[in-house]
Chain A
Amino acid sequence: MAQDIQLRLRSIRKSFDGQNGRIDVLKGVDFDVYERDFVSIIGPSGCGKSTVFNIVAGLLAPDDGDIIYRHERVSNLRGRVGYMMQRDLLFPWRTVLENIMLGPEMQRLPKAEARDNAMEYLNTFGLAGVENAYPKMLSGGMRQRVALIRTLLTDPDILLLDEPFSALDYQTRLYLEGVLVDAVETFNKTVILVTHDIDEAVALSKRVVVLGGKPSQVKSVHQIDLGSRSPVGARSDPHFSEYFHTLCGELDIQTKVKQ
């Protein structure tokens, strides 16, 4: 079960200008992502998860380190990743459909086909009928779904999802987790997911990368082997809670009453 490495991050360092001089955020982050992988990144708030995404997507330059994509050193993956940022970033003057169509529009792809795809996604995501509404009229969860569709519609090799489900109620979340897993299986996508939700990380991922320390490094990488990767199936797997407790331990979250 030798797997090809699609993306490799090596010793990525990044510091920012703070009020009292430079603040180191990433101190040499290393991890690999396989072809058709599903990797979750977890870690405490402010540890630099979004920063890693910004570097991979080419919005920030790392201070040091290499990004290797399919055995080739690249400066970043701009144009090859679909990046769903933590803010939903919908354009207020564009309707839902116009927002979703941004990717194909920027890449000057044929409109009609993209439109059909977009409408199909809207149906799957339970947003049929709101395509002509402006974002202001939507709930937080709906806005998040629109942003997710926009990311999926660009059909990138790698999806970078920064807390895509954080504003959703549990029911919708389970449903959309399922939709996401199905979509990436069907279309052979690679996903890197940032989440605060350990439960979600275990249920969806093949592997979980834990960031920690100050400045941050990869603390550990956990292989997740569950019988099912459907959101509900995974959560009812007998090994689920084992993984869950291990990861909580990694993040120093107390899950068992001490004797």
Chain B
Amino acid sequence: MSRATALSRSRARSMNPRRTRHGLINTSLGRGLIQLVSVAAVLALWQVGVEMGWVSAFMVGAPRQILKVLVDGIVSGSLLVDTYYTVVEAVLGFVIGTALGSFAGLALWYSPLVARLTEPFLIAINSVPKIAFGPIVILWFGTGLVSKVALAVSLTAIVALIAAYQAAKTADRDLQALLLTLGADKNQVFFNLVVPSSLPAIIATFHINIGFGLVGAVVGEFISSERGLGHLIFTASGLYDLNTVWAGLFMLMLIGFLLYFVIDFIERRLLPWKEAATANAFHV
């Protein structure tokens, strides 16, 4: 029995062309290793370039100094405080904006008339670069946390709204018909069909919107602020302190990266039925 399964398993592996052809590359450890080595190589080249005088440390900074800024900032805690403020602004903006936008977009399903009336306005608002609202938002909401959150909300809400509305509008007509024959009313169709079938599209906007949340927070800080990574980067670049700029950028990247995985985790939690489908995907 155990021999039979072992045999069939080894046969399955040898019949899978990807595994055998690329070997180590297709394991996550192998891929991670390659990625790490690439990053290390770029950083080493950069450091060597600066030390050999190929490039100016004044204009591009240097990895070793950047690391020092990072370590000093973490030890003193000032970098962590800036990071904390930016994360709070971005996440608040993301959550509020995405929630508001998604609810509004789904709610438009209830009234095709209202939806059709508002559609051109949504497209118009969406086509304005929301960053341009920045100065007004600061005027209205002050230079503190609220204005950054508001800016992030304005960026994320419209994305979520349009995605949610599109998805709700295209919910399967036959499934709707089926629910109606089973005696469902409009609210039941909404909660049992429109919401769940729009969920994948809405969750897909999370990935985009977490980035927009950060954009809103950082741009708000650029315009006017006392704290945050945007503030740090903006003031440091005014002083030609490139190493601090890079340190700030590195922290932003790290945040974006971590938030992306958090979203990924949430997605898998919310859509177990999608997981079931992709687990058996064909090799194309």
Chain A residues near B (Cβ < 8 Å):
54, 57-59, 78-79, 81-83, 85, 87, 89, 91-94, 102-103, 105-107, 134, 136-137, 154
Contacts and interface: CB of A to CB of B under 8 A. Distances in A.
B183 A103 contact: yes
B175 A91 contact: yes
- Interchain residue pairs A-B with the least CB separation, the first 7: A106-B184, A93-B273, A83-B181, A134-B276, A106-B182, A136-B277, A134-B273
A59 B276 contact: no
Nearest to B271: A93
B181 A137 contact: no
A97 to B, nearest CB: 13
B199 to A, nearest CB: 8
Nearest to A95: B273
A103 B273 contact: no
A59 B273 contact: no
B183 A137 contact: no
A148 to B, nearest CB: 13
Contacts of B197: 93
Interface in B157-193: 174-175, 177-184, 188, 192-193
Nearest to B196: A93
B174 A89 contact: yes
A136 B276 contact: yes
A2 B181 CA distance: 32
Given A54-B177, A78-B181, A83-B181, 9 more contacts: A57-B181, A58-B181, A59-B177, A79-B183, A85-B174, A85-B178, A89-B178, A93-B196, A93-B197
Contact of A87 (B174, B271, B276): B174
A154 B182 contact: yes
- If over half of A's interface residues share one DSSP class (helix, strand or loop), that class is named, otherwise mixed; here it is loop
Contact of B181 (A59, A92, A94): A59
Contacts of A89: 174-175, 178
Interface of B: 174-175, 177-184, 188, 192-193, 196-197, 199, 271-273, 276-277
B208 to A, nearest CB: 22
By secondary structure, the B interface counts as helix
Max count, chain A CB within 10 A of own CB: residue among B179, B181, B188:
B181
A87 B177 CA distance: 12
A82 B180 CA distance: 11
A137 B276 contact: yes
A79 B181 CA distance: 6
Contacts of B175: 89, 91
B55 to A, nearest CB: 54
Contacts of A59: 177, 180-181
21 contacts: A59-B180, A78-B181, A85-B174, A85-B178, A87-B174, A89-B178, A91-B175, A92-B277, A93-B273, A94-B273, A102-B182, A103-B183, A106-B183, A106-B192, A107-B183, A134-B272, A134-B273, A134-B277, A136-B273, A137-B276, A154-B182
A215 B193 CA distance: 35
B260 to A, nearest CB: 24
B178 A92 contact: no
Nearest to B172: A89
